[in-house]
Amino acid sequence: MEVFRLKQVMKEKGVSREELALMVGTTKTTISNICGDNGYLPTIKLLMEIAKALDCDIRQLFVPTKGEVFPAEVDEAVLHLKKAMEILEGKR
């Protein structure tokens, strides 16, 4: 099951795997793994760095799993992700 749509977002932004890897400080192999359908799960921190580098919302990196997503539910999920990142970065 495909989870990420990073390949599509990169194509829309005109960014290669090599370029994105350099932008976020990782390897082309890691970016390829995220683009593939091999079950690779990147860290939340890496996903946030990728979203920032691609100037997009982190939600754009995921394939929707349900029909319509209600904005309030999405906003709440993003808030939880941000709190988790703060904890991981030692800000709390």
What's the CATH code of the domain at 12?
1.10.260.40
- With a cut of 70, say whether residue 49 has pLDDT above it: yes
Is the residue at 1 inside a domain? Answer: no
pLDDT at 91: 65
Domain that holds residue 56: 6-88
pLDDT at res. 38: 83
**1 pLDDT more than 70:** no
53 domain-assigned: yes
Q: Which of 1, 56, 33, 92 is nearest to 78 (CA)?
A: 56
- pLDDT at residue 92 in the model: 54
Closest CA to 53 of 77, 23, 29: 23
pTM: 0.70
Question: What pLDDT, on the 0 to 100 scale, is given for residue 26?
Answer: 97
pLDDT in tens, 13-29: 999 999 999 999 999 99
Supply 73's token pair. 């539910």
Residue 29 lies in a domain: yes
Residue 35 pLDDT level (bands cut at 50, 70, 90): very high
């390897």: which residue's tokens? 27
Q: Is residue 16 part of a domain?
A: yes
Number of separate domains in the chain: 1
